[in-house]
A and B are shown apart, each in its own frame.
Chain A
């Protein structure tokens, strides 16, 4: 969309004159004349199809802008930087703790087998049967471990996609991050709800001895 050459020359002259007369405010009639000339020159270049396309593009731009804003409001950076890493760490901890627990159960079952070997026939058979049942039941850990590993892999895939989305959104996400930061400042004290996020991962937890020392420090 451009102004026609004749119209733009006339308009440019008038604008130049207006700048020179800046000390003197333009009259209502002079302002109306300039505006009318701009509108007339524009309409001369636009077909109804141009106007329709322009309207559609304008609507589309508005829709995209609103969508970007709404996605940024969801704070996708928190999903990628906080929720998914937390979820994968928690799942890794599940695998590790069940593996440790299974190891201890197997220790006991092996001790049971040793004791069984020292017993009379009927008793030996019963103890062996119990130990075998424990061994059989313990192979759940391999299957659950593999299932959890698959979930972790899926979460990491989602994280990659979210990182790509954040890259596209850029500015909106930064704005939303700043707003989230401002909201989070509060009075600096954790609410009751904030305190409920256990069980902690091993690296974030303190053990019973540390808890006892901490409690004692209040005395």
Chain B
């Protein structure tokens, strides 16, 4: 079964430029329905209001970080199965381990390229 690229994707980053880059790369890969949030708390509100098939989030944001958002998502019965990819400049081993323990679906280190993003999407969602 192929992935539905019409699904709603939520991207979360406090750098508007990065939101724009991820949106364009997703569009090129085939995902056109992309919404944006600039921190974890805004993202959490949006996730509870609309049906999303994927979250791609930065880590280092205020007031709610990407890790806190991930923990909130995994603790929420309605959202806990939602695929969640972290895209971050935090590249220490302990960061990756912490994110994995919190339930992250995959982890991309900035700067990244379209090929890496596509591979991670396929590993989380399946081939498309």
Contact = CB atoms under 8 A, between A and B. Distances in A.
Contacts of B111: 136, 139-140, 142-143
Interface of A: 99, 102-103, 106, 109-110, 113, 128, 131-132, 135-136, 138-143, 145-146
- Interface size of B as a range: 10 to 19
Interface of B: 13, 15, 17-18, 20-21, 24-25, 28, 60, 89, 110-114
Contacts of A113: 24, 28
Nearest to A149: B60
Contacts, number: 53
A141 to B, nearest CB: 5
Nearest to B116: A136
B108 to A, nearest CB: 11
A106 B28 contact: no
Contacts of A146: 60, 89
9 contacts: A106-B20, A110-B24, A113-B28, A128-B28, A132-B28, A135-B21, A136-B21, A136-B112, A138-B21
A129 to B, nearest CB: 10
Contacts of A141: 15, 17-18
B114 A139 contact: no
